[in-house]
Structure 1
Amino acid sequence: MKMQVPASGPILYAMPPRLLKTSVRELVGFVLRSGDLISGGFSRPDRLVEGTRGHQKIQRARPADYQAEVPISYLVETDEITLEISGRIDGLLVEDDVVLVEEIKTTEADLDEIPENPTHWAQAKLYAFMVAEQSGLDAIDVQLTYLQLDTYERREDRRTFASDELAAFCADLIERYLHWARIYQQWCAERDLSLEALAFPFAEYRPGQRDLAAATYRTIDGRGRAFAQAPTGIGKTISTLFPAAKALGLGHAEKIFYLTAKTSGRRIAEKAIDDLRGGGARLKSLTLTARDKICFKPNGGSTCDPDQCEFARGYYDRINDALEDIFTHDAFTRTLIEECAQKHRVCPFEFSLDLAPWCDVIICDYNYVFDPRAFLKRFFQDTRGQYAFLIDEAHNLVDRAREMFSADLCKSEISGLKRLVGKTHPDLSKQLDALNRYFAKLGKKVEQEGDGECWISPQLSTDLMALVHNVLRAAEKVLEQGAALPFWDELIECYFRVLGFERIGELFDEHYTTYTEKQGRDIRFRLFCLDPAHNIRQALERGCAAVFF
């Protein structure tokens, strides 16, 4: 028999009047998260892709009646709130009137070393509860399947649960989530009521302000893009934030991103939001500060490793209390985040990122939306959100975008790391040596085909990118051994530099050129984005509206 279940929905966001939507993964992860900030050490960036392939490998091996990636949703209704929980079941099978729900997990660890994981079982049991509830089952089988990505070995754990047992388990899980959801929903109601009554926070508009405010509102309401040019001193910041807040209160946007290139721009935005609050607005605003500026680094470490940083160690044991504590405030400035992070002993940068989904306005640098190496994946990785982008000092964006979509490597970085690795890791040393020799050849190109100082070519060598890829794969095998390496900091820094280079290389097209230059005894090779317009356009698709001013 085929089981029909309702369709899935997006991750958590507010929808009037009382409906909240979340996913099974988000709900379970929020309630049950625990332990260190980074669990299990280094993980490859392509882990998600490999995990998807692993899922598909198992799904293809199942019987013909097996249903893969089955969408499902479930409504929980209370007096204060309606919660829609949705997701996709990895596998659903009905055999001899026995219904099986399968949850698949992929891992790089030895299968014998994987302990019982309450979060994994909770996800599987929540899916099983939803199926049992909607199909009127007295009992249901649940299977948690682990696939080892290197060997493709499998470990399967199948258990039978009574529906009453699942109902009790999930009721407790959902109620713990609803505790926070009620706080958030109450906030949304207060916010929307305040924004409905909000008037422009000054006695009168300056010349041009009303036109800019009206254009901003129409752009967000119509999910379009607007370009505004106005003289300095007109009050562009308040003229865009005020209508954006009004649009937010009416449900035309889920979140406002105020993007600026300068610290002074962030301060002006914070003041404008304070002016709105002075006029009666209730808004939760967050100012994001770069990791290297806000990191406490109490032990001098350069990585978010729990062995080096007490604020990473046990982070998820304390983060929910920290979130509930800080949520009593409205302006989440750098100072407040640092104070609350110190109080609860959590990493201030990750704390601010975990706070971001619950905020109305996020003030941040351009790179959190546009940079392919730094954009906020929790918002922009998979789906387009109802986000309004307000882009301050937009004339700076083109040059910044050229930098964001460009990358370079230096021969000295490669040779320096090779010396540190020495003979301790032969494969990594071999790959670094091959890349180092390629850079030596580039130096000869500068002499033979360039002007002695630089060489420009519109072509990107596939040989170079293959060498870069080989270095990354070899480095990943070494990094998986953990932070005890004597050259860990240098290796992780070089790894992410090379990874960024590879990612930009994947974007290379007719809008790029390559630039090789001699810098003393060093050789620098650059992938330079001449025209970032296409990349900017793609990044804007992550939101629903954008205003450049």
Structure 2
Amino acid sequence: MDTPARYTIAVRSLCEFTAKQGDLDLRFTPAPSAQEGVAGHQTVASRRGSGYRSEVSLSGQHRHLAVRGRADGFDAGRCRVEEIKTHKGEADRIPDNHRQLHWAQAKVYGWLLCQQFELPQITVALVYFEIGKQRETVLEQVCSADELRGFFESLCERFMDWVDREIGHRVQRDAALAALRFPHAEFRAGQRTLAESTFKAARLGRCLMAQAPTGIGKTIGTIFPLLKACPPQELDKVFFLTAKSSGRALALEAVDTLRAAEPAMPLRVIELCARDKVCEHPDKACHGESCPLAQGFYDRLPAAREAAVQQPVLSREVLREVAAAHQVCPYYLSQEMTRWSDVVVGDYNYFFDSAALLHGLTQLNQWRVAVLVDEAHNLLERARAMYTAELAQDDFRAMRRTAPASLKKPLDRLNRAWNAVGKTQTEPYEVLPEVPPTFLAALQDATASITELLADQPAALDAEAMRFYFDALHFSHLLESFGTHSLFDVSVASGAKRNARLCVRNVVPAPFLKPRFEATRTTVLFSATLSPQHFYADTLGLPEDTAWIDVEAPFSAEQLQVNLVRGISTRYQHRRESVVPIADLIAAQYTARPGNYLAFFSSFEYLEQVALEFELAHPSVPMWAQSRRMSEPERDAFLARFVEGGQGIGFAVLGGAFAEGIDLPGDLLIGAFIATLGLPQFNRVNEEMRRRMDETFGEGYDYTYLFPGIRKVVQAAGRVIRTISDRGSVHLIDDRFARPEVMRLLPAWWQLPQRRSAGSH
């Protein structure tokens, strides 16, 4: 009889699976930051004797289950193990079900120590360390080795049925993936190159940047080879990360295609969605006294987990159905099922944000993961937003007016320091070389005072004040890692009271993202627009040995007529006189070849000017326009106007919802007009970013303006040719498109006219 394969689990994960019970309780209680937690553990350790050891690596086994972890502290002389939990506020506020979980972890470590050192008994201690008062609350039990072994084995036995199924699933999964065939009769042009490069990157344990044109099937061309790489590379998970919901849908469709070819393939797939998109009771708080789905959540979770694991694809809809059947929260059920899924589809933030779920689980469980970054050109701006924080003085003043009297002194001190920052301003916008020490000290004192108040009185602040508090915490945390990758800027608006808006503005996210790439076996970043390669490699912090491929487009130059319209300037100072020529140009092309077109502009204001002129001058031509803050149904209605055999002009903003990520093949779209180079607005903020880019990389203008702008142009133009049978035209409207530094950034397969008369089209 074959010996069962060993299954390894972290102590924390074992205890969470077997010992968590009661309510889901997410009432806000101030928690220490990661730095505070580390400092708290160090403080406790410094108070112990010379024989005290911290972070003791331990492992044990029950049948074919291996358990590993690190005990916070062990005093061999006193024969005492400590599980240290840092917190803020009174220890008696810690919920009972949390305390039971902490005891379970402490006792497991107690048994692993008894086993390793052959101890007959040990003192098991829970040490709750209050960060603010630097005070310990110690709970302890003297336990025999037999007692602890029995406890450990009982937890393991509760987990063994699941372990056996997980081992069986992994064996079956890997066997199926090893035999998996590409679901189509043949690869599309360029698709095989992409797939082979992706597989090779996983085999070599390297990152890959893949620039691959629209229409070759990048999604399935990357998912398929990484699934094939799972067995030989012993990959635990594949994370498919995207910036938009449309990207998630494409990933799930790709998995469905693979399943259709291999219906019995035992592959578990889950879609992660934001909490506000799936919450069943948005009017209720996340705890058992408010939300019925939080009450007894952990008691009902095992049955819900059993049902969920039987579903091959846990899409948003399927998760909701399973959660409803077992009366649990769908959002937190999805977080639990992430642990037991093979492919996870979700937003960038689930792996790259500062408190990312997938990165945290990867580190805790020591998973071997492969990450796919869909439409990777979007990661730069998204990552900048993740590591940027703002504080508005008006919001602070509103919070200060309603704050309890006990906060008066620290808030007054912060107000004075804030005013002092604003008073030094000679311009509406300035970048300071460093964070003013007085302001930093006042902010830290104020957040500490609020934290201390909330630890004792959780309901002391209203919703508006709590929002400011969370913003201030995020701001403070970013200041802890402040460096040349970010700016500290101040914007001052004059008025009855000067309002100073402070911002920790990330410019280069590379230092934050680099550890995320290092945590993966491979990360494959793919997009139709990843040029220039060094721009994205530098700003995202990719490893030096990152591979690069530029997949040749399957399209021919004859499919796309590219028109450089040199006689029109779309510069801001020339826009008024450009309106009529652009409207006439669009009308002339439409008359020559009626059909569906998209016209892109640099702003809504510019769009509205040209759209109005077009409507007045050419009333017989159907037209529709993107509006500010469009709802999802309104966006759907805009796209619904593009029908086979249809005719008309859709007016849109470059870089917006209709400039990338939409698929209009055939005669759904036969042409595009792009009346802008897409360059970011010239303002003080972007100029400061340009200076910082210049200091860091030496190509400040290109990194800040040119590369991001032309990328948006190429993405918008890419809406026209989607398949090898499409035919269409693109009008690039601005004399600057003819400049060599711009033309070299346009796709190589485009045939660019070298000589055109002014204003030709």
- The TM tier, using the shorter chain, reads 0.7 to 0.9
| Structure 1 residue 490 displacement after superposition | 2.2
121, 124, 127: which one aligns with 1:146: 127
1:76: which partner in 2?
A: 62
What is the alpha-carbon distance in structure 1 between the residues aligned to residue 52 and residue 502 of structure 2?
A: 51
Q: Higher relative CO (CA 8 A, sep ≥ 6), structure 1 or 2?
A: 1
Code of the aligned partner of 1:455: E
Q: Any residues of structure 2 matched to 1:336-485 within 5 Å, and which?
A: 336-374=318-356, 376=358, 378-379=360-361, 385-421=367-403, 424-427=404-407, 429-446=408-425, 449-450=426-427, 453-485=428-460
Q: Any residues of structure 2 matched to 1:257-406 within 5 Å, and which?
A: 257-280=239-262, 281-297=265-281, 300-301=283-284, 303-374=285-356, 376=358, 378-379=360-361, 385-406=367-388
| Structure 1 residue 419 displacement after superposition | 1.6
1:157: which partner in 2?
A: 140
1:229: which partner in 2?
A: 211
Query: Relative to 1, partners in 2 of residues 1:94 and 1:148: Cα closer, same or farther, differing over 3 Å?
Result: closer
* Structure of greater Rg: 2
User: Does structure 1 retain, via aligned residues, the 8 Å contact 2:106–2:125?
Assistant: yes
| Structure 1 residue 140 displacement after superposition | 1.2
What is the alpha-carbon distance in structure 2 between the residues aligned to residue 109 and residue 309 of structure 1?
A: 25
What is the alpha-carbon distance in structure 2 between the residues aligned to residue 67 and residue 285 of structure 1?
A: 42
Query: Relative to 1, partners in 2 of residues 1:523 and 1:133: Cα closer, same or farther, differing over 3 Å?
Result: closer
1:250: which partner in 2?
A: 232
1:538: which partner in 2?
A: 515
What is the alpha-carbon distance in structure 2 between the residues aligned to residue 110 and residue 514 of structure 1?
A: 36
Query: Relative to 1, partners in 2 of residues 1:414 and 1:161: Cα closer, same or farther, differing over 3 Å?
Result: same
What is the alpha-carbon distance in structure 2 between the residues aligned to residue 39 and residue 505 of structure 1?
A: 26
User: 277-286 or 236-245: which moved more?
Assistant: 277-286
Look up the SS of the partner of 2:112 in the other structure: helix
TM-score, structure 2 as length reference: 0.62
What is the alpha-carbon distance in structure 2 between the residues aligned to residue 128 and residue 514 of structure 1?
A: 48
User: Does structure 2 retain, via aligned residues, the 8 Å contact 1:385–1:542?
Assistant: no
Look up the SS of the partner of 1:248 in the other structure: helix
Query: Relative to 1, partners in 2 of residues 1:492 and 1:26: Cα closer, same or farther, differing over 3 Å?
Result: same
Code of the aligned partner of 1:476: T
| Structure 1 residue 70 displacement after superposition | 2.8
2:15: which partner in 1?
A: 28
What is the alpha-carbon distance in structure 1 between the residues aligned to residue 10 and residue 348 of structure 2?
A: 29
Q: Deviations over 1:247-266 (max 9, x none)?
A: 12333422111111111111
| Structure 1 residue 286 displacement after superposition | 1.4
2:490: which partner in 1?
A: 516
Unaligned runs of 5+ in 1: 1-15
Supply the RMSD in Å over aligned alpha carbons. 2.9
Look up the SS of the partner of 1:358 in the other structure: coil
| Structure 1 residue 460 displacement after superposition | 3.0
| Structure 1 residue 464 displacement after superposition | 2.7
Q: Deviations over 1:199-222 (max 9, x none)?
A: 011111000000000000111111
What is the alpha-carbon distance in structure 1 between the residues aligned to residue 103 and residue 400 of structure 2?
A: 44
| Structure 1 residue 511 displacement after superposition | 2.8
| Structure 1 residue 295 displacement after superposition | 1.7
What is the alpha-carbon distance in structure 2 between the residues aligned to residue 358 and residue 417 of structure 1?
A: 43
Q: Does 1:182 align with 2:164?
A: yes
Look up the SS of the partner of 1:72 in the other structure: strand
| Structure 1 residue 315 displacement after superposition | 2.1
Q: Does 1:193 align with 2:168?
A: no
User: Does structure 1 retain, via aligned residues, the 8 Å contact 2:32–2:86?
Assistant: no
487, 491, 500: which one aligns with 2:474: 500
| Structure 1 residue 141 displacement after superposition | 2.8
2:70: which partner in 1?
A: 88
What is the alpha-carbon distance in structure 1 between the residues aligned to residue 489 and residue 510 of structure 2?
A: 20
What is the alpha-carbon distance in structure 2 between the residues aligned to residue 93 and residue 443 of structure 1?
A: 53
Query: Relative to 1, partners in 2 of residues 1:306 and 1:41: Cα closer, same or farther, differing over 3 Å?
Result: farther
Query: Relative to 1, partners in 2 of residues 1:484 and 1:153: Cα closer, same or farther, differing over 3 Å?
Result: closer
User: Does structure 2 retain, via aligned residues, the 8 Å contact 1:107–1:146?
Assistant: no
Look up the SS of the partner of 2:502 in the other structure: strand
| Structure 1 residue 347 displacement after superposition | 2.4
What is the alpha-carbon distance in structure 1 between the residues aligned to residue 39 and residue 375 of structure 2?
A: 43
User: Does structure 2 retain, via aligned residues, the 8 Å contact 1:42–1:482?
Assistant: no
User: Does structure 1 retain, via aligned residues, the 8 Å contact 2:267–2:312?
Assistant: yes
Q: Deviations over 1:160-181 (max 9, x none)?
A: 4252x44333322211011222
Q: Does 1:529 align with 2:523?
A: no
Q: Any residues of structure 2 matched to 1:11-160 within 5 Å, and which?
A: 18-38=5-25, 41-46=28-33, 49-77=35-63, 82-93=64-75, 100-106=80-86, 108=88, 110=90, 117-133=99-115, 139-149=120-130, 150=133, 152-160=135-143
Q: Deviations over 1:504-541 (max 9, x none)?
A: 22332223223333457544222222222333323322
What is the alpha-carbon distance in structure 2 between the residues aligned to residue 544 and residue 148 of structure 1?
A: 37
TM-score, structure 1 as length reference: 0.85
Look up the SS of the partner of 2:71 in the other structure: strand
What is the alpha-carbon distance in structure 2 between the residues aligned to residue 122 and residue 507 of structure 1?
A: 35
User: 140-149 or 211-220: which moved more?
Assistant: 140-149
Code of the aligned partner of 1:292: D
Code of the aligned partner of 2:200: R
Q: Deviations over 1:390-448 (max 9, x none)?
A: 11111111122222222211112111111221xx2322x333333344444444444xx
User: 378-387 or 503-512: which moved more?
Assistant: 378-387
User: Does structure 2 retain, via aligned residues, the 8 Å contact 1:402–1:529?
Assistant: yes
Q: Deviations over 1:191-248 (max 9, x none)?
A: 1111011001111100000000000011111111111112111100000000011112
Q: Deviations over 1:105-156 (max 9, x none)?
A: 555565678879543443333333334445555x313332434423534435
| Structure 1 residue 93 displacement after superposition | 4.9
Q: Does 1:547 align with 2:524?
A: yes
Look up the SS of the partner of 1:84 in the other structure: strand
Code of the aligned partner of 1:289: C
Unaligned runs of 5+ in 2: 527-761
| Structure 1 residue 293 displacement after superposition | 1.7
Q: Deviations over 1:297-330 (max 9, x none)?
A: 25x13x4243332222322222222111111001
Code of the aligned partner of 2:12: R
Code of the aligned partner of 1:488: D
What is the alpha-carbon distance in structure 1 between the residues aligned to residue 459 and residue 312 of structure 2?
A: 41
Code of the aligned partner of 1:70: V
Code of the aligned partner of 1:253: L
What is the alpha-carbon distance in structure 2 between the residues aligned to residue 494 and residue 268 of structure 1?
A: 37
1:4: which partner in 2?
A: none
Q: Deviations over 1:479-509 (max 9, x none)?
A: 2245544x43223322221112122223322
What is the alpha-carbon distance in structure 2 between the residues aligned to residue 479 and residue 325 of structure 1?
A: 39
What is the alpha-carbon distance in structure 1 between the residues aligned to residue 140 and residue 468 of structure 2?
A: 40
Code of the aligned partner of 1:505: L
